[in-house]
Amino acid sequence: MNPSTATTSPQAHESIYAGGLKSWLTTVDHKRIGVLYGVTALIYFVVGGVEALIIRVQLASADGTVVGADTFNQLFTMHGTTMVFLVLMPLSAALFNYLIPLMIGARDVAFPRLNAFSFWTFFFGSILLNLSFFIGDPPDAGWFGYANLTSKQYNPGMGIDFWLLSLQVMGVASIASAINFTVTILNMRAPGMSLMRMPLFVWMALVVQVLMLLAFPPITVAFIFLLFDRFFGTHFYIPDAGGTPILWQHLFWIFGHPEVYILILPSFGVVSEVLPTFARKPLFGAPFVIFSGILIGFLGFGVWSHHMFTTGLGAVADTAFSLATMLIAIPTAVKIFNWIATLWGGHIRFQTPLYFAVGMVSLFIIGGLSGVMHASPPVDIQQHDSYFVVAHLHYVFFGGTVFGLFGGIYYWWPKITGRMLGEGLGKLHFWLMLIGMNLTFFPMHFLGMDGMPRRIYTYAADLGWDQWNLIATIGAFVIAVSVLVFYVNALKSLRSGAEASGDPWDAATLEWTMSSPPPEYNFAEVPRVNSARPYWLHKYGPTRDISTRTRADGTPAQPEHPTERVDLPSPSGWPILAALALTGVAGGALVGLPAVLLAGAVLVFAVYRWAFQPLERVGHPTFGPDS
């Protein structure tokens, strides 16, 4: 990354990832940070997957003896926590980071160093969580950590402390990145890109940022209460002393249900980009899809107690939360019908991203419909905490989020790496994952109807649960093979994949107007946007466009070189130091007060230096004629 190199030759483009370890540790480039998020998430995907496989092996037959009761509880706790916070959220963050500036015509995010801080805080927080394995005491109270099982009395070990402190740290990362991307999307759009001309993926990202901004404070409060209970002997959740464990359930699910939409809406956004591209049509009813997404996010804050129908909140509360939950089915259905209508009348090209997008739609329908079933409290009190819910949530998170995000990975991989993924291996990955997914999770509906509770490490032989459990375990290994196929495909592509052009899918949005991978400065020339599908209109001629209601001109491909001087922010080491120190403050709580104070002092120092360091210093990257 030599700042004085002001060329945009293809070699220079590939070199946006060149540079030593230091360049990655101090980077403030949204593209590199996106790659860091993605690589980290894909590594944790293996960790969480292995945890799931051990769980499935243990349950493959009755009276399993592979792991003991405590280990099993630790495994499903870490599996849930890992998949939610270390895989699905950062994988979405990877796509947000890489793509949002490219899709809105910006050269970076609003706060590049805060962006680096977010990533490193997440990264160190995730390490803190997994350190609990090495002290031999991982958390074991479930990813939902219901009080008062997490109290010092019933959980004296350090596992819960690791869990709550690391999630608290990662919450800081999420809030910081939510602020960053909200500001970026609202303020950094290219001239002419009104909100209604914004790509659907960016729209869903915006809704997700607002959800994160509003959902993380309640869980932060919940964690602080728990922290005080465990470290300072307060009684927020201790019933013997007048506290109430139910308070945790409310605070957790006020976060937890919006969190579901934080996990699924990015995938909705991906599908809303992929389907139009491969059907070669605009997204059907785009404004309705946008407002449905907003409505889902809004309603998501009013339904938390549908996780608590067995808690005993009474008939009126159950009714209110049940009806509110059912309402969410309406915007969700609107989205699904619009996706089908997008395919309707198209010339559908069957390439891997489309497979995953369609897979996402068809699997999410199942998860959505089983969700409608337990929106009804009378049904839910039979399904709650049974394997039926395990099936439901995996159809939403695996069928919905993972398939959707893989669709996004296959779709944007050429843009990010400059190389194509193999189509054959991609389709093999898809079919194996589809089969494995249904083999694993569909039988869980039957297990739930047959009364098998969740989170049990063993079950008796004479209940008829063995056969479906065995099939689910086989399915889990099919999924594992499919993921392996993906990693092989990815490595092959990086080593010897076909080179990708700037616009390999003949797509409509701004990120395809530049080379693959994009130059460090993204846009040689700030694009002017007259339409929701700027590049498509440029290629296929002006047509009537929904966002202008008139004939609109498109936006041409980017010129080879910047026409005017482009200044980019300098790398900085302070964000990573601040992130490390922040994690040190949290981790230090497990060691002692001196450690907390020391880390706190480093944190103050790092933030101070960061605050007074100019964004662009001598030798900062510049491009273009006057550089």
Both tokens assigned to 290: 């946008």
Q: Per-residue string for binding with other proteins, 278-317, x by CB under 8 A? A: -xxxx-xxxxx---------------------xxx-xx--
**Closest distance of CB 349 from other proteins, Å:** 5
Asked if 137 touches other proteins (CB under 8 A), the answer is no
Stretch that binds other proteins, among 110-118, 199-207, 346-354, 432-440 (CB under 8 A): 346-354
- Cα separation, 194 vs 315, in Å, equals 45
- Beta-ladder partners of 499: 419
Q: Of 237 and 574, which has the nearer Cβ to other proteins? A: 237
| Burial bucket for residue 4 (CB in 10 Å: 0-12, 13-18, 19+) | exposed
Q: Determine if 451 is a binding residue for other proteins (CB under 8 A).
A: yes
531 touching other proteins, by CB under 8 A? no
Tokens linked to 602: 């480093």
* CA pair distance 471, 447, nearest whole angstrom: 11
Asked if 246 is part of the footprint of other proteins (rule: CB under 8 A), the reply reads: yes
Rounded to a whole number of angstroms, the minimum distance from the CB of residue 12 to other proteins is 32
Nearest of 216, 177, 224, 89 to residue 575 by alpha carbon = 177
Least distance from C-beta 202 to other proteins, angstroms? Answer: 18
Q: Dig out the tokens for 179 from the structure.
A: 């602020």
340 near other proteins, rule: CB under 8 A:
yes
How is residue 614 written in tokens?
A: 């100019």
Kindly state the helix (H) or strand (E) to which residue 623 belongs, with its residue range: strand 622-623
Instruction: Tell me the per-residue interface mask from 30 to 69 with other proteins, x by CB under 8 A, - otherwise.
Output: --------------------------------------xx
Contact with other proteins (CB under 8 A) among 29, 259, 318, 503: 318
Give min distance, CB of 221 to other proteins, in A. 20
H-assigned helices in 504-617:
534-540, 574-588, 593-611
Alpha-carbon distance of 35 to 37, in angstroms, equals: 5
Of positions 4, 20, 134, 347, contacts other proteins by CB under 8 A? 347
| Contact yes or no for 434/31 (Cβ under 8 A) | no
Region 70-99 residues binding other proteins, contact defined as CB under 8 A: 70, 73
Q: For residues 62 and 464, what is the distance between their CA atoms, to the nearest angstrom?
A: 9
CA 262 to chain centre: 7
Closer to other proteins by Cβ: residue 438 or 627: 438
As a whole number of angstroms, the distance between CA 199 and CA 181 comes to 15
Q: Is 179 an interacting residue with respect to other proteins (CB under 8 A)?
A: no
Mask 378-397, x = binds other proteins (CB under 8 A)? xxxxxxxxx-----------
Using CB under 8 A, which residues numbered 544 to 573 contact other proteins? 544-546
Region 351-370 residues binding other proteins, contact defined as CB under 8 A: 358, 361-362, 365-366, 369-370
Candidates 379, 409, 391; CA nearest to 95 is: 409
For other proteins, the binding residue among 449, 470, 526, 602 (CB under 8 A) is: 449
> How far apart are CB 379 and other proteins at their closest, in Å?
5
